[in-house]
Structure 1
Amino acid sequence: MKRFWAVFQARNLEFFRDRASLGWNLLFPVLLLAGFSFIFSGDGRPAYKIGILNQGQALTQVQSPIEQAFRATKHIEFVDYGSEEKALRKLDQHGIDLLISYPTKQYWLNTESPQGYLAEKIFLGSHQNFTRLETNSAGVRYVDWVLPGILAMNMMFSSLFGVGYVIVRYRKNSVLKRLKATPLSAFEFVSAQLASRLFIVMFMSSVVYTGCNFFFDFYMQGSYLDLFIVGAMGAICLISLGLLVASKSKSEELTGGLLNMTSWPMMLLSGVWFSLEGAPQALKTFADFLPLTHLVTGARKVITEGASLADISYHLGILALMSAVFLGLGAWLFDWHTERK
């Protein structure tokens, strides 16, 4: 018991004397709760998302009592569209659950969407004499729509945590201190780490996609080469971010907290699980600063819309710019030593 108590005391003192990790363990839950309270303020995230077609023209007219009452339904988010083509594309991609046109008394349903089935039942409970239409395309299953998000999220965790913890462990074990005595520069070391992790991430992601495609027969409109390039650009950006986070940290606990702070907003706000269509503009603007947003959006456009690299050049450009900034800062701030300053 004395030996047990000695180790128990020593580990507790080690933790509480590490002010960085202690402060992070106290601060992270508060930041997480504050973020959730802001993102899901009010009635929380809507259960259904319904598009209203030609609503821009209809706003000049008096809405019928039925329409006003339907728009007041809780837990349903209404998104206005002026273009039928754009609205139907969102319906195909599960961006919305139902599309309604009040002037023509029509509504469209994606038969592959379980959310759409329930949204239709709610809609028909208060509306009669509307013509039911289905999307003309074969439809994109939810598993096809969510595929880019799941693969990108897996790449994110592998890139951030696979690099961050390794660098910190090297620093704590004095491996970096020994490497500094060699002609190796910080930029060369960081670049080599990036290339190694990029190979691992892309190899594993390709294996996972190929294996799952054998069972699920994924929907694919674009080029597999374009999809690979988008994935590689996103992986480079995320790995560079992981290198930046671990560039100076000497504590694994602190590094874990910083990586969680980096990954959680991306997992929630980058369109991995649900579309940000109709979300507040401030939230969309914040999401544009997250690397995972551009990776998921670019990959999803290639898969579901058949977009080329030129069509998603904006997202590729943002990823390239972020990669250059993260890698440059990571090499500049990189610390070889274990001693705390």
Structure 2
Amino acid sequence: MKILVTGTAGFIGYHLVKKLLKRGDEVIGLDNINDYYDINLKYARLLDLGIKKSEVKSKQLTYSETYSNHKFIKINLEDTEDINKLFETEKFDAVCNLAAQAGVRYSLENPYVYIQSNVVGFMNILEACRNYGVKNLSYASSSSVYGLNKSQPFKTSDHTDHPISLYAATKKSNEMMAHTYAHLYGISCSALRFFTVYGEMGRPDMAPMLFADAIFNDKPIKVFNNGNMSRDFTYVGDIVDGIIRVIDNPAKSSDKFDRNNPDPSISSAPYRIYNIGNNSPVQLLDFIKVLEKVIGKSAVKNFMDMQYGDVVSTYADVSDLIIDFGYKPDTSLNVGIKRFVKWYKEFYFIKDNK
């Protein structure tokens, strides 16, 4: 299968591309390599996929030196002409759109970039799929769409009409836009609501990396809401396994869809929403304890009030994954954190004090 994966210099995109390449798919990777966080980490991910920084030129395909079935292109999703040219030339069988402006808190500071990347950019992907015959689209949504919902675990059948950050609102809009294209043009569209992903090559703006950096460098960590928070931490390998199952099984119309009582996660169109989470929320302070134990060093904690735009807890109901694919993320926190810390020490050249 020939697959376009956007956001391949990103955390999840990198891991997905690596697994797709190893199983033999032909992959075109796309990323704009923006400076939202350290671009050196982004280029390190690309290098592991055989793409050298020195070879990357804007709007030109770069061939992998490691995988003969991999090419990379640096463009922005919001550049309509470039996206159309890529689709016209490469003729994809499937598209997995993971590229987006990430981060709940940053959306409070720079809202306009979220509209450009997450709304305009996604519009370009939808239109390109329509115009160039791609019928298999999967894309990143987020657990953030559950917003003010309190009933847990979060179910894909829940209504998500009360987001509390612009980031969440853009992800909700992606789901609505995708349904429209599934209905009008028969494009199979599957939304992937990720829950607090962690692991090797992780994002520096997320808690696991922020905490590890602080602990290793004797800096205090910020513990919001005085630690009274929980997250459904999900290991990146489990996330990728879930994505691949969705790519391999494009969404279909559901004969269970009831127009008088519509379930938001299914449709008479080829449209589906999935939670991909560990189905096992962890208290933030317990997460920190596991990280401290694996690192072998205590954290200096700075307890703070709740961060505006954040939610107190997340908890994924993954029954749809189980029913449709016989799959449930199951990497334990202890195992996942050990893998993450091992990578972190190797990547940042940290030696054990033994």
Q: Give the shorter-chain TM-score range.
A: under 0.3
Bigger share in strand? 2
TM-score, normalised on structure 1?
A: 0.28
TM-score, normalised on structure 2?
A: 0.27
Bigger share in helix? 1
Name the larger-Rg structure: 1
| Higher RCO, 1 vs 2 (CA within 8 Å, ≥6 residues apart) | 1
